[in-house]
Structure 1
Amino acid sequence: MGAGFAVTGGREGWTRTLLTAIGVGLGVALLLLTTAIPGALGARDDRGRARDEHAGRAAEAGANTLLIGMADTAYKGEDIRGRILRAEGPDAPIPPGLRKLPGPGEMVVSPALAELLGSDRGRLLKERFPYRTVGRIGDHGLIGPDELVYYVGSDALAADSMSTLRITGFGNSIPAEKLDARLLLLVLVMFVVLLMPVAVLIATAVRFGGERRDRRLAALRLVGADSRTTRWIAAGEALAGSLFGLLFGLGFFLIGRQPTDVAAAFDLSIFPSDLDPSVPLAVLVALAVPAAAVAVTLFALRSVAIEPLGVVRTSTPIRRRVWWRLLLPLAGVALLFPMIRRGADRGEFNELQVVAGTVLLLVGVTALLPWLVEAVVFRLGAGRVPWQLAVRRLQLGSGLAARSVNGIAVAVAGAIALQMLFLGVDQDYVKETGQDTERAQMSMSSDVRAGSDKVAEITRAIRESKGVRSAFGYASTRIGDRAADPGGSTSLTIGNCDALRELARIDRCADGDTFIIEARASPFGEMQVAPGQQVIVDPSYGPNSERSARTPWRIPAAAAAVPGRADPSGRSYDGVLATPSAVPEAATKRLTLSMDIQIDPAAPDARDLVRNAAARVDPLSSVYDLSSTEESRRFANVRTALFIGTAVVLALIGASLLVTMLEQLRERRKLLSVLVAFGTRRSTLSWSILYQSAIPVVLGLMLAVATGVGLGAALLGMVGRPFTVDWSGMAAMTGIGAGVVLLVTALSLPPLWRLMRPDGLRTE
């Protein structure tokens, strides 16, 4: 009978069921999305490992070997994955996503890169790729639809380059490294924080139309139904609404997973097909939501006396008790307290205990907020007419107002706790690189394995690039005590005086000078050299290396010892520093180049022009921006997931609040019509609605701040970090929560004005 009421009763019944289905459906959609995220990230990881080229290395060329050169680059802050390929035999492996290997001068690109190259935004990038595009990379060769990837065929790729690998196949079977205890704690708390508001909103949605439903149940009592029967009829009605909500949620999920703009905005590219919910988890959602709808309905009716002549709830309600509401957060603290400092030495946490304790603390917000709102509004005094209308409405029934704000309060409390935890552990995942961004802003390395003429060509091309203030280049090779398999070796770095001063503290320098960097402790056992010592430049290593005679060179007896210094990119040099004329030309045939580059910050596209110049002279050159700090990739991924989840949850909360507000206005339209018929101004009613929203919001955010700081303190104690509060983050999250409610209230004003008509009193 209750299920029948959900789908009958004319427009009134369908409207009530539709609003419930939309509210539940929004929550179900986010639950399905959450169950799909682990699988989506796993699919991304699997495709990334399937194209890994480091696992199938080979020592010698054969019929099944492929030379692959690393040619990664970047454009306007976006990373581009690039590989240069040369088959050494007819059975050379083909990268995933390609049907065949591209020929010399041919390029296969990802759809996103093809779109970028075809747009005005990619104009500069076109200059970097003087190749003919012959195809697209398939989805199984990309980790996401927005990934920028290219493969280029070449017949001139050298096997002896440090940027080149020889492989017999693609793939990596090494299991991924597990999350450490602190990152695991972040992930666990993040999932709880993101899912708790969803559960609260679903519980709120199944109670839409509660007052009208209770009046219908009173009519059933009049015709003979007992109290127990009416409660189960109400449960059946909620069950039917939740089942429609499951269908709506599936529809919302299928529609919402198509656009990937939200994920792409946070540098997380996901194929829609990857968002495939886990079957066991999806079944759990399908069973849990209807069960929760029935449980919430029966729980809501526990204090409502539905009699044949009416609903007793319309009289003054009994004041809420606080003692049992305090038990929930206290139980959460009791679960979390034993794990204080458990993660200080990267120990292991009891995952179930962490989840249970966090859930109980956040559930405590939902339990305490109705009591807090009721306790405060009963003490509010008189004021202007809008204030009196709002306060009196809350005094007569504050439960619905508190339930509407519960989702915001839980989300803000969880976000504050997470921000405190992120602030406490970020020093573990953000480290100093030692790079000096004042001396240089970019660095380049080129394993040209060529002579000084090629080095000069590359250096000149970079220095002449638009937007480059200066560039200091150093050409390097190795020197050893003998020509083949030396017992010790060190570096020989060649550059002009200005460049060498970036590597050592040199007072006097002229072309022809040589310097020896003062000896320091080295974990690699570098060979110690002295003035006048006989060495071999570019010796051979290993049984398979070329054993031709190398260039002998005697270090000049006038070589001065100088203290070394780190270059702008943070590298410390050792061995011998020499100006070009101090080294015989025969010793400069196989050099590698490093260059530190100063950029004019006012020059547009200077960094991309540098990368274009480097790609023209050496496609395998590595050009990267210098930064004083470096962040753990996993830590950054967790934070990105939090940002995406927070954006989706806030959007869901806003949509659900709007549905809740419309339901409240629908239930009160006759009351509004009476007030308008008595001459109440529209502005008075509008301000009244605003006050009705603002009072619970302010109280909910105050409770959220207190709970969030408490939970954050417990989490910081678990990882052994001192108590710190991110005040700016707290203010931002509180402001966002309040802004969502104010936006929803503003959007509800047009329907409110339509309901403010005296003809709303008409009935049939």
Structure 2
Amino acid sequence: MTGRWTADLIFGARLGWAGGRDGWIRTAMTAVGVGLGVAMLLTAASVPAMFQGRHDRGAARDFSASIGAPLAKSDRTLTVRRYETWFRNSSVYGLELQPDGPGAPVPPGVDRLPRPGEMVASPALARLLATPDGALLAPRLPYRMVGSIGADGLIGPDEYVFYAGSDRIAGREDVYRIDRFGNPGGGPEELSPMLALLVVIIFVVLLLPIGVFIAAAIRFGDEHRDRRLAAIRLVGADSRMARRIAAGEALNSAVLGVLTGAVFFGVGIQFVERITVGGITVFTSDVSPDPVFAALVALAVPAAAVGITLLALRRVAIEPLGVVRRAGATRRRLWWRLMLPVLGLALLYPLIGQVGATGGRLANAYQVAAGAILLLISVVAVLPWLIEGVVRRLRGGGVAWQLATRRLQMGSGTAARVVSGIAVAVAGGIALQMLFSAAAAANTVETGQDTARAQVQAGFGPGDGPMDAATITATFRAVPGVRSAFTVTQFYGVDPAAQPSASGQPVISVLIGGCGALAEIAVIDHCADGDAFVVNGRGEAGAQGAATPGPGQRVRIGDVEWTVPAAVRPALPGRDPLGREAGGVLATPGAPGVAALPAANVQTLMRVDPAVPDVYEHIRNASFRLSPDGYVNLLQSTRESDRFTTIRKSLFVGLVITLLLIGVSLLVSMLEQLQERRRLLAVLVAFGTRRATLGWSVLWQTAVPVLLGLGLAAVAGAGLGAVLLGMIGEPVRFDWASMAGVAGVAAAVVLLVTALSLPALWRLMRPEALRTE
């Protein structure tokens, strides 16, 4: 029995190559379709290695393990100072290094420590500095380039990183003394239950359409295969042998598809370092699929090809004189198809309100994944029944409509297979969007910053020495694109006569600024230089216990005692663009005693015209000219958690790739169907059918199943989304705009694929397509 199976499978495999050019085209299209899916699965299997590689290299250059108890200076220690700036939307991170001796540790990726005034940079940063755009960044990196950082010292190939040598940072307050690089114990933090649930659903939503597409690609060329099987029956093969031969042909295409997928994957990763999606880049060496998963794919795809072929032939009667499909006489049954969503709900329902209740982690990841898969795969099961039931009732219409509906009535299963992948993707996308909205609300905080009043904050610390507010303001106002700017100097003092308590002495806030600046942060009736105001508000130090001084009260600020002016006037508290409430003393530069105050924190808030090219870069350069130690922040009304931002970017990467795959799969499927119908199309044209009519028929033939699939996907996706929201205890909210957006993108993909298939359609309508052998 085993020998007969083997012989028939081998004969079927040979038959796939013995059909002339048509056979080769069918085999090649199936191999390409399966290969695309396999390449995507191998890419998905590489995701853990990608992120692990990025984490390992980040941990290797981390020096936080050396920070703790102060280290004594020795020949084996190194003084480091962090430096970070931004160039457009990319972070530029660096370390200033000053060795304490010849045995000082060297960061990974470099052979030696740079000398004072020298710099080693990542290849991406070096390329940027060598371009005209790099001239905007170069003033903030006043070092001589002497080398580059190797891949083992970088998280990704497009990372902007540098190490600069210095001999002037020892003794500063913002430096660290370390004796090694590397933080082996600094593993990634565990995700919250909500984020872990989001990651599980992302993997299900992105990978399931790939599996559906592979299953559909395996069945390319079914009609030609059935005719060949009838011919095999005619020469003496029984029905079982014919099915085994068909399985051998599918096995041949699947094995070739696995090999093609490996080639696609191997070629694709050679370009991975040039691709940046969502700000994420990886090295080619990181794209390494899990060996167990890769072996599973290599074995599962051919096995699935054989199983799907045998399952599909159960509804086909292969006779010596032709093939009869039983689908027309026997309607598809619905009851067993509805068992899939019922089983999915049975798995997920016990988890309603339970996510996050067990130790702060998602303890039921596999149960969640299985339930989500069953609910989404039910779309694949129910869609053929839905399409068959609807198209059976379609009547009338124009010629193009009748050609399309008649074709669907004759073989709705093929249309369902083509659309099932995009329907699953849309259903998963809708559910993911509902869950993502809840996760975004939980992982996004309101900053309180008013971006309508100011968009940029620049600041300088006491270590920068005395900073003249008027000079700072004039410098920033001179930057092209800065519409307005105001500067304030912030002091914190205490009442020298007050007795310390267990909670410490109350902090008195003193804010110095011009009248225009004070008017931005408090409600002042009138103001002139020399005035001072007292505001009964929390102030920036409110959490530390703010105090409101009175006229003539002494305030100790550092080593200086300052007396609140006797003519101080009350003012109502307000909020600055950063959302901070004014409190304490507000004084103008001409107020008595202000000129004798020590150096303090100086902040400038600016309103800019974002339409001016690189206005933020010019502001950063102006800040660097004032003091290399200054900082520039862009105001934002909301802020996301870093881990949620990473997940969101990863989702964007996956969605882009999945949509591309869906588009390519639809195009390959449509071209395969047109190839099978080329003689029929040529005959219709020969009898006078207009080409435009046939083009519209192809569009309707695709649009009807797609519309039905999108409707079913919306129901399934909304149901899965409601269950997932119930699991995390969130109220069910339907984001109709997002649901329409997901469906609209899917419809746009279908329209684009149809447009791309038209050139092939015109070519197949030529009279040469009537030739046969």
What TM-score, normalized by structure 1, do the two folds share?
A: 0.91
Pick the aligned partner of 1:434 from 444, 448, 456: 448
Which has the higher mean CA deviation after the structures are superposed, 697-706 or 144-153?
144-153
Residues 361, 31 of structure 1: alpha-carbon distance in 2 compared, 3 angstrom cutoff: same
Counterpart contact for 2:479–2:619, Cα < 8 Å: yes
Alignment correspondent of 1:28:
38
Give the letter for the 2:37 counterpart. Answer: G
Deviations 1:475-506 (A, max 9, x none): 345545789x9964736545234344545555
Structure 2 residue runs of 5 or longer lacking an equivalent are: 1-10
Which AA in structure 2 matches 1:472?
A: F
1:218 equivalent to 2:227? Answer no
The residue number in structure 2 matching 1:657 is 666
Aligned counterpart for 1:362 among listed residues 360, 376, 380: 376
Provide, for residues 345-386 of structure 1, a one-character-per-residue CA deviation record: whole Å limited to 9, x for no partner.
777452112111111111111111111111111111123222
User: In structure 1, what is the equivalent of residue 48 of structure 2?
Assistant: 38
Task: Measure the CA separation in 2 of the matches of 1:682 and 1:261.
Answer: 45
Residues 410-489 of structure 1 mapped to structure 2, 5 A cutoff: 410-453=424-467, 457-479=471-493, 488=505
Contact 2:508 2:549 in 1 (8 A): no
Which residue number corresponds to residue 122 of structure 1? Answer: 134
Q: CA deviation at 1:427?
A: 1.4
- 1:547 alignment counterpart: none
How far apart, in 2, do the equivalents of 1:80 and 1:494 lie?
32
| CA drift at 1:59 | 5.1
Deviations 1:63-117 (A, max 9, x none): 3333333321122232222333333333333332232222333232222222222
Name the aligned partner's letter for residue 512 of structure 2: G
- Check the 8 A contact 1:71/1:619 in 2, yes or no: no
- 2:769 match: 760
Match of 1:197 in 2: 209
Contact 2:467 2:602 in 1 (8 A): no
1:29 touches 1:252 (CA, 8 Å); kept in 2?
A: yes
Q: Retained in 1: the 8 A contact 2:57–2:154?
A: yes
Task: Quickly say closer, same or farther: Cα 1:95–1:515, change in 2 above 3 A.
Answer: farther
The answer to which of 496-505 and 31-40 deviates more is 496-505
Matches within 5 A, 1:660-739: 660-739=669-748
1:181-232 C-alpha deviation (Å, 9 max, x unpaired): 1111111111111111111110011111222222222333334433333222
What residue in structure 2 maps to residue 543 of structure 1? Answer: none
**Structure 1 residues 85-164: aligned runs within 5 Å:** 85-157=97-169, 159-161=171-173, 163-164=174-175
Note if contact 1:204-1:404 (Cα within 8 Å) is conserved in structure 2: yes
Q: What's 1:180 paired with?
A: 192
* Letter of the 2:700 counterpart: Y
Partner of residue 541, structure 1: none
Q: How does 1:610-621 map to 2 (within 5 A)?
A: 610-621=619-630
Matched residues in 1 for 2:549 and 2:80: separation? 37
Cα deviation for residue 535 of structure 1 reads 5.4
Relative distance call for 1:46 and 1:584 in structure 2 (3 A) is farther
- The 1:164/1:661 distance shift into structure 2, 3 A limit, reads same
Aligned length: 751
Contact 1:67 1:159 in 2 (8 A): no
Counterpart CA distance in 2 for 1:585 and 1:142 is: 48
Query: Residue 55 of structure 1 aligns to a residue in which SS?
Result: helix
**Aligned 8 A contact 2:96 2:165 in 1:** yes
Change (3 A) 1:583 1:273: farther
Cα distance in structure 2, aligned partners of 1:175 and 1:227: 59
Relative to structure 1, is the Cα distance of residues 592 and 720 closer, same or farther in structure 2, using a 3 angstrom cutoff?
same
Name 2:182's counterpart in structure 1: 171
CA distance in 1, matches of 2:708, 2:550: 76
**Greater shift after overlay, 597-606 or 341-350?**
341-350
Deviation per CA, 1:621-673, whole angstroms, max 9, x where unpaired? 11011111111222222222222111111111111222112221222223223
Conserved 8 A contact 1:716-1:723: yes
| Equivalent AA in structure 1 for residue 51 of structure 2 | L
In the alignment, the residues of structure 1 paired with residue 422 and residue 172 of structure 2 have an alpha-carbon distance, to the nearest angstrom, of 60
62-71 vs 366-375, which deviates more? 62-71
Change (3 A) 1:198 1:51: same
1:286 aligns with 2:298: yes
Cα distance change on mapping 1:170 and 1:515 into 2, 3 Å? farther
Q: Does 1:372 align with 2:386?
A: yes
8 Å CA contact 1:445–1:621 kept in 2: the answer is: yes
User: Deviation of residue 431 (structure 1)?
Assistant: 1.2
1:393 has 2:407 as partner: yes
Cα distance, 1:310 vs structure 2 = 2.4
Q: After superposition, give the CA deviation of every residue in 1:598-626 in whole Å (9 maximum; x if it has no partner).
A: 22445443222111011122222110111
Q: Distance in 1 between matches of 2:532 and 2:76?
A: 47
Task: Confirm or deny that 1:639 pairs with 2:659.
Answer: no
Q: Distance in 2 between matches of 1:630 and 1:282?
A: 39
- 2:23 maps to which of 3, 13, 18: 13
SS of 1:568's equivalent in the other structure is coil
> Structure 2 length as normaliser, TM-score?
0.90
User: How many angstroms apart in 2 are the aligned matches of 1:37 and 1:751?
Assistant: 36
Answer yes or no: is 1:381 the counterpart of 2:407.
no
For the pair 1:230 / 2:242, whether they are aligned, the reply is: yes
Letter paired with 1:733: V
Aligned residue type for 2:182: G
- Contact 1:108 1:151 (8 Å CA) reproduced: yes
Q: Partners in 1 of 2:491 and 2:697 — Cα distance?
A: 79
**Residue deviations 1:413-445 (CA, integer Å, cap 9, x gap):** 111111122123321111110112233211122
Is 1:490–1:574's contact at 8 Å kept on the other side of the alignment? Answer: no
Give the C-alpha shift of residue 572 in structure 1.
4.9
Instruction: Say whether 1:269 aligns with 2:284.
Output: no
RMSD: 2.9
Contact 1:25 1:249 in 2 (8 A): yes
User: What is the DSSP-based 3-state SS (H/G/I as helix, E as strand, rest coil) of the residue aligned with 2:704?
Assistant: helix
- 1:736 partner SS: helix
- C-alpha contact (below 8 Å) 2:196/2:362 kept by paired residues: no
Greater mean alpha carbon deviation, residues 595-604 or residues 296-305: 595-604
Instruction: Tell me by how many angstroms 1:153 deviates.
Output: 2.6
Q: Name the amino acid aligned to 2:771.
A: R
C-alpha change, 1:596 and 1:167, in structure 2 (3 Å) is farther
Task: Give the 3 Å change call, closer, same or farther, for CA 100–523 of structure 1 in structure 2.
Answer: same
SS at match of 1:166: strand
Residue ranges of structure 1 left out of the alignment (5+ in a row): 539-549
Find the aligned partners of 1:412 and 1:229 in 2 and give their Cα distance.
40
Residue 256 (structure 1) shift: 2.2
Distance verdict in 2 for CA 1:335–1:315, change over 3 Å: closer
Question: Structure 2: how far apart are the matches of 1:130 and 1:482?
Answer: 44
8 A Cα contact 2:472 2:487, kept in partner: no
Q: Structure 1: which amino acid aligns with 2:34?
A: V
d(CA) in 1 for partners of 2:596 and 2:508?
Answer: 13
Deviations 1:518-537 (A, max 9, x none): 47595545678666565543
- Equivalent positions of 1:245-644 (< 5 A) are 245-260=257-272, 264-313=276-325, 316-343=328-355, 348=362, 350-453=364-467, 457-479=471-493, 488=505, 490=507, 493-498=510-515, 499-507=517-525, 511=529, 518=536, 523-524=543-544, 536-538=556-558, 550-553=559-562, 564-572=573-581, 577-580=586-589, 588-601=597-610, 603-644=612-653
Compared with structure 1, are the counterparts of its residues 449 and 506 closer, same or farther at alpha carbon in structure 2 (3 Å cutoff)? Answer: farther
Q: Assess if the C-alpha contact under 8 Å between 2:39 and 2:265 holds in 1.
A: yes
